[in-house]
């Protein structure tokens, strides 16, 4: 369903991917009263397992999942499920048994509880205790962002090997969308069209104050300096400790920060609008359900009046 870049064979120093997953999922109520939004299926696979696949592809062995006290269902997804697997095998359902086993086979999951929702920056700061002393870099993947094709974090690590410091994934979005994101002030690097130097970063600015239309899209590679910056970061936008503000502090103190411009797709799984589009687009590629979903989408498109179709803007991002 999700295809990996074929050039991803590499040896990386990346061992841990941090996944902030402590949010309350308010945009998905009432579903998220009992089901963490990270467990909602994209076609048939929970978003958190797609992130685990992506982390493993980037060479990571450990997923440090930052959860809220009431969200331990996320960690339960990475349990052994021995009885269920045995039962499925006994019934001859080996493909289904393999699906159950997949999550725990690809990566080791470690939970870190964020007792209070103090912001993305605070959540990432809690990961420091999960890293081994000799881990020089780590990645952060926001599970709301599905960045396709899988492989962007591997590319970011190669940029980090070249420039050091922090590397973030960026997309160029329409100006009307900048206020939903962390936005970069950037400078071109001669001979490197896909990589830019970051001169500053601001969280969710108005269109007038946005330094560019290049925005953070949920994939970050950090060295350990980020923890020191986070310790010195005071509450910002929304009264929360913002990761963006800590990155901006790193820049102001002379640490290298770069973006890798992603030209592929990105889905926002954090709200029903983006989530449904992701399910539809990935569903159309599904080996079993794809044909009937494509047929239904074609039928629905044909049923729209031509005038309605003419007013539909091309999709640039699905948030």
Stretch that binds ligand G1P, among 53-61, 76-84, 185-193, 212-220 (CB under 6 A): 212-220
Question: Nearer Cβ to ligand G1P, position 152 or 215?
Answer: 215
169 scored as a contact of ligand G1P (CB under 6 A): no
Question: Nearer Cβ to ligand G1P, position 14 or 216?
Answer: 216
215 scored as a contact of ligand G1P (CB under 6 A): yes
143 scored as a contact of ligand G1P (CB under 6 A): no
Question: Nearer Cβ to ligand G1P, position 168 or 293?
Answer: 168
Q: Site mask, ligand G1P, residues 68-107, x = CB under 6 A?
A: ----------------------------------------
In the complex, what is the shortest distance from the CB of residue 225 to ligand G1P, in angstroms, rounded to a whole number?
18
Looking at 36, 218, 236, 274, which residue binds ligand G1P (CB under 6 A)? 218
Stretch that binds ligand G1P, among 2-10, 35-43, 75-83, 140-148 (CB under 6 A): 140-148
Roughly how many angstroms between the first and final C-alpha of the chain, as a whole number? 21
Stretch that binds ligand G1P, among 192-200, 210-218, 251-259, 286-294 (CB under 6 A): 210-218
Question: Nearer Cβ to ligand G1P, position 85 or 219?
Answer: 219
Contact partners, residue 205, CB within 8 Å, separation at least 6 = 178, 179, 183, 211
52 scored as a contact of ligand G1P (CB under 6 A): no
Q: Which two tokens stand for residue 166?
A: 């922090």
* Residue closest to ligand G1P when measured from CB atoms: 182
Looking at 28, 78, 138, 181, which residue binds ligand G1P (CB under 6 A)? 181
Q: How far apart are CA 14 and CA 77, in angstroms?
A: 23
Label each residue of the chain as H, E or C.
CCCECHHHCCCCCCCEEEEEECCCCHHHCCHHHCCCHHHCEECCEEHHHHHHHHHHHCCCCEEEEEECCCCCHHHHCCCCCHHHHHHHHHCCCHHHHHHHHHHHHHCEEEEEECCCCCCHHHHHHHHHHHCCCCCCEEEEECCCEEEECECHHHHHHHHHHHHCCEEEEEEECCHHHHHHCEEEEEEECCCCCCEEEEEEEEECCCCCCCCCCEEEEEEEEEECHHHHHHHCCCCCHHHCCCHHHHHHHHHHCCCCEEEEECCCEEEECCCHHHHHHHHHHHHCCCCCCHHHHHHHHHHHHHHCCHHHHHCCCCCCCCC
Q: How far apart are CA 229 and CA 124, in angstroms?
A: 11
Looking at 49, 57, 203, 281, which residue binds ligand G1P (CB under 6 A)? 203
Q: How many residues bind ligand G1P (CB under 6 A)?
A: 13
Q: How many CB atoms lie within 10 A of CB 258?
A: 24
257 scored as a contact of ligand G1P (CB under 6 A): no
Looking at 59, 182, 236, 274, which residue binds ligand G1P (CB under 6 A)? 182
120 scored as a contact of ligand G1P (CB under 6 A): yes
Question: Nearer Cβ to ligand G1P, position 40 or 215?
Answer: 215
Q: Tell the residue number behind the tokens 């913002």, with chain if given.
A: 242
142 scored as a contact of ligand G1P (CB under 6 A): yes
Looking at 38, 145, 248, 281, which residue binds ligand G1P (CB under 6 A)? 145
The residues of the shown chain that bind ligand G1P, judged by CB under 6 A, are: 120, 142, 144-145, 181-182, 203, 215-218, 243-244
């Amino acid at each position: 369903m999700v295809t990996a870049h074929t050039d991803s064979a590499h040896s990386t120093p990346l061992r841990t991917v941090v996944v902030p997953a402590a949010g309350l999922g308010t945009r998905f109520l009432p579903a998220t009263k009992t089901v963490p939004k990270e467990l909602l299926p994209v076609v048939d696979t929970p978003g958190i397992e797609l992130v685990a696949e992506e982390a493993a592809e980037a060479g990571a062995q450990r997923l440090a999942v930052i959860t809220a006290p009431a969200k331990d269902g996320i960690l339960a997804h990475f349990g052994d499920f021995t009885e269920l697997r045995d039962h499925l095998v006994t019934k001859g359902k080996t493909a289904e048994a393999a699906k159950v086993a997949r999550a725990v086979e690809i990566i080791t999951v470690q939970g870190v509880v964020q007792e209070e929702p103090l912001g993305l920056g605070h959540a990432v700061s809690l990961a420091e205790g999960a890293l081994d002393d000799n881990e020089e870099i780590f990645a952060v993947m926001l599970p709301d962002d599905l960045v396709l094709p899988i492989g962007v974090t591997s590319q970011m690590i190669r940029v980090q090997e070249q420039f050091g410091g922090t590397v973030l994934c960026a997309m160029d979005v329409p100006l009307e969308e900048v206020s939903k994101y962390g936005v970069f002030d950037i400078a071109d690097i001669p001979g490197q069209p896909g990589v830019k130097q970051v001169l500053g970063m601001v969280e969710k600015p108005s269109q007038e104050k946005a330094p560019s239309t290049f925005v953070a899209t949920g994939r970050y590679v950090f060295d350990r300096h980020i923890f020191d910056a986070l310790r010195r970061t005071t509450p910002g936008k929304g009264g929360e400790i913002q990761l963006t503000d800590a990155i901006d502090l790193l820049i102001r103190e002379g640490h290298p920060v770069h973006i890798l411009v992603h030209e592929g797709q990105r889905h926002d799984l954090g709200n029903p609008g983006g989530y449904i589009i992701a399910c539809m687009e990935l569903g159309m590629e599904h080996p079993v359900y794809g044909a009937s979903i494509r047929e239904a989408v074609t039928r629905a498109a044909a049923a729209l009046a031509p005038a309605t179709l003419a007013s539909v803007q091309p999709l640039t991002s699905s948030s």
